[in-house]
Structure 1
C-alpha cells in the first residue's frame, strides 16, 4: 500500500516541513514500514500518513503468512519474509518520486530483525528499530512457527557480539543513522537483546536510543503509543531536515 497524499501539515519554525523538504527537489525520501510477526500493514496506516506529512513516500505491505496471506502463516521461513522485505524495498526504490539514496527502513519486533538484515543487502540511509527481535542463525530455512520457542527465549537472555549473529553483523556494517526504541516492561524482547543491537550499531553515523517508560512489547496503552510516536516522529523529522540541508 503506497501512501502519497498529505493529510496534515507539520510546521517547523513557522514553515511547512513538507514544503521545506520538497521545495526544488524532484524526488523525496522513501520509508518502508515492516510489521512484526502476527501483525499486518493495517496497524500502520496512521503512522504511514504521519510519515507522508513529513514529505515522504511511504510503503506498507503484508509479508507472506500475514494479512491477506494468512493461509501461509505456518509455512513461511525467515528467508521467505526477508525476500518479502527486499521485494518491497525494491518496489519503493523504483518509484519515480523516490530518492533511492534516501530510504528509511522502519521495523518492529520481527520486522525490526528483518529490517536489520536488509540494511546490509540494500542501500539504507535511516534505520529505525522498535523492540527488534533476534534469533539464532541456525535453521534459517525452517518455518518460523516450527522454531523452538524455549531455545529462542534462552538465546535472548545474553548479550550477543556482532560476529555471532547475522542481524547484528549487518547492523555493525551499517553507516547510516539509526534509532532504537525499547519498551521498559517488554516481556518478549529482554534488555540483553536491545543492548546487543545498541552495541552493534555504535559504528553508525549516528545512533539514538530511547526507552518508552511503562510500555509493554505491544505498546498496549494509548499513552505508550503516543510516547513512541513522539520519539519516532521527532527523530525522523530531524533526519529529514538534515537530509534537506545536505
Structure 2
C-alpha cells in the first residue's frame, strides 16, 4: 500500500470539441497500473474520488473527471450527445495513458450507470485490461446524435426490458470483443436497469478472461444508503487488488 502523504492529487483541464472538461489526477510515486473512473449521467467526479483515493493507496494511478455538461466541465447538458460523452472519455483515457508512470498494458476502467455504458464503448476504441461496472446502462443505437437528455425514456426502458443477443448494439458488440477481466455489480432493487439488460451484457462477454458478477442486496440504482456504498467500495477495492496482484505475479 502507498502512504496517503505519498499520493499526488492534481486538478486537470482537457479541451474536447471546443469544450472544457475538468478532472482530478491521483498518482503514487512508483510505476503502477492506471484506472479511469466514469461517473453516471447527472453525477460528477465527486462520487468517484473516494474510490480513486483508495485505489491510489493500493498503488494505482487514477483519473476522475466530470463529463461535459456536468459540474465544472463545459457545455449545455441538454445538448450533450452520447458521441460527445464518448469523446470526453477517449480524451480522459488518452490523458491517463500519457502519464509517465502508467503501464499502457495495465489500464482499467470503472464506470457507473451511463458511465458503465461509456466504458463498454471505450473498450472498442482503446486497450482496457480491467472493466468494472456498477449498474451499467444499456441504450439502443438509434438516435445516436440526439442529445442524451432528449432520448425517449419509454423507448430506452422498453429496449432494456428485452433480452438482446451479443452484438445487438454498439455496447454489446464491444463486450463480445473484450478479452480482459470484468466485474459487474448489480443493485437488487434497481428501478432503472432491468434484469434482462444485465443478462444481455453478461452473455456478451464471451471472450473475457474472467467475469465476476455481484449483487448488492436491497440497493437501489442510485445506491444512496451508506451501508450499500460501503459494500460497493469493498467489492470494488477487493476485486481490483486481486486483479493487480495477479498481474504483477504474471510479470515476475
TM-score when normalising by structure 2: 0.88
2:186 to 163, 182, 185: 182
**Cα distance, 1:69 vs structure 2:** 3.0
**Cα distance, 1:33 vs structure 2:** 0.1
Q: String of CA shifts for 1:23-67, please: whole Å, max 9, x gaps.
A: xxxx31000000000001111111110010110000001111111
Does residue 91 of structure 1 match 2:95? yes
Q: Equivalent residue for 1:30?
A: 34
Does residue 69 of structure 1 match 2:73? yes
Q: Equivalent residue for 2:232?
A: 228
Q: Equivalent residue for 1:166?
A: 170
Query: Quick one: distance in 2 between partners of 1:56 and 1:163?
Result: 32
Q: For 1:29-48, list aligned pairs within 5 A.
A: 29-48=33-52
Does residue 242 of structure 1 match 2:243? no
Relative to structure 2, which stretch is displaced further, 181-190 or 196-205? 196-205
List runs of 5+ in structure 2 lacking aligned partners.
1-23
**Cα distance, 1:87 vs structure 2:** 0.5
Q: Equivalent residue for 1:57?
A: 61
Q: Equivalent residue for 2:131?
A: 127
Q: Secondary structure at the residue paired with 1:163?
A: coil
Q: Equivalent residue for 2:11?
A: none
Query: Quick one: distance in 1 between partners of 2:195 and 2:74?
Result: 31
List runs of 5+ in structure 1 lacking aligned partners.
7-21
Q: String of CA shifts for 1:196-242, please: whole Å, max 9, x gaps.
A: 11111132001101100110001111110011111111110100000
**Cα distance, 1:71 vs structure 2:** 5.0
Contact 2:26–2:52 (Cα < 8 Å) also in 1: yes
Q: String of CA shifts for 1:73-108, please: whole Å, max 9, x gaps.
A: 000000000010000000000000100110001100
Q: For 1:131-170, list aligned pairs within 5 A.
A: 131-170=135-174
Q: Equivalent residue for 1:3?
A: 26
**Cα distance, 1:164 vs structure 2:** 1.0
Which structure has greater strand proportion?
2
Query: Quick one: distance in 2 between partners of 1:140 and 1:207?
Result: 28
Q: Secondary structure at the residue paired with 2:73?
A: helix
User: Which aligned segments of 4 or more residues in structure 1 are displaced greater than 3 angstroms?
Assistant: none
TM-score when normalising by structure 1: 0.90
Does residue 117 of structure 1 match 2:121? yes
